């Protein structure tokens, strides 16, 4: 199953790359002077096709990124429990970050918020994101140290 999905993804990737090369060559061939890009060549339909091809590639990447974990989870039900614990962990860290920012000290005054052209709500969510990042960084360092110590003790 994994080999088939990998093969299909590889074929789709090669087709998109081939179409990109063909559109690029057609765009260069359409331009009479390679050093001077004219307004006409920028507004050509080839560029719009290239954008659509880019949108298609991004959409396929998003779909594959979402579908592969789902397929892997279905084929391996034990991993579902692990993914569920990780998801719950992220939610808990998010809630902790939210409450740290909500009940923490807000150092931005109203005049500073006006100068930055932002609202209190936006500043609060930026703080939540920063707190979340700090907590995740701290946890990654703890896991790194734990793994290193555990490997040293096993030897």
Can you give the residue range of the structural domain that contains 147? 77-155
Task: Say whether both 37 and 70 belong to one domain.
Answer: yes
Same domain, 88 and 104: yes
Predicted confidence band of residue 28 (pLDDT cuts 50, 70, 90): low
What domain count does the chain have?
A: 2
Q: How far apart are CA 37 and CA 30, in angstroms?
A: 10
**DSSP letters along the chain, please?**
-HHHHHHHHHHHHHHHHHHHHHHHHHHHHH-S-SS---HHHHTSHHHHHHHHHHHHHHHHHHHHHHHHHHHHHHH-HHHHHHHHHHHHHHHHHHHHHHHHHHSS-----HHHHHHTT--HHHHHHHHHHHHHHHHHHHHHHHHHHHHHHHHHHH-
Q: Examine the domain organization and report whether 123 and 143 are in the same domain.
A: yes
> Is the domain of 111 the same as that of 43?
no
52 plus 104 within the same structural domain:
no
Q: Are residues 14 and 66 in the same domain?
A: yes
* pLDDT for the residue numbered 70: 77
pLDDT at residue 138 tops 60: yes
Q: Which of 36, 59, 75 is the last residue of a domain?
A: 75
- The verdict on 36 and 93 lying in the same domain is no
Same domain assignment for residues 39 and 88: no
How do residues 64-119 score in pLDDT, each as one tens digit? 777 877 777 778 878 778 878 888 999 999 999 999 988 877 677 778 878 888 88
Return the pLDDT at 30: 64
């Amino acid at each position: 199953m994994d080999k088939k999905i990998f093969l299909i993804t590889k074929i789709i990737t090669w087709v998109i790359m081939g179409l990109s090369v063909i559109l690029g060559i057609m765009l260069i061939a359409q331009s009479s002077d390679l050093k001077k890009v004219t307004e006409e060549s920028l507004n050509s339909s080839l560029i719009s096709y290239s954008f659509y091809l880019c949108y298609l590639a991004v959409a396929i990447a998003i779909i594959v990124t979402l579908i592969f974990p789902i397929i892997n989870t279905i084929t391996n039900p034990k991993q579902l429990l692990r993914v569920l614990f990780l998801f719950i962990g992220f939610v808990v860290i998010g809630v902790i970050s939210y409450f740290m920012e909500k009940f923490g000290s807000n150092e931005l005054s109203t005049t500073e918020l006006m100068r930055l052209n932002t609202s209190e709500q936006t500043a609060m969510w930026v703080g939540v994101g920063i707190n979340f990042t700090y907590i995740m960084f701290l946890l990654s360092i703890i896991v790194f140290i734990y793994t290193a110590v555990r490997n040293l003790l096993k030897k």
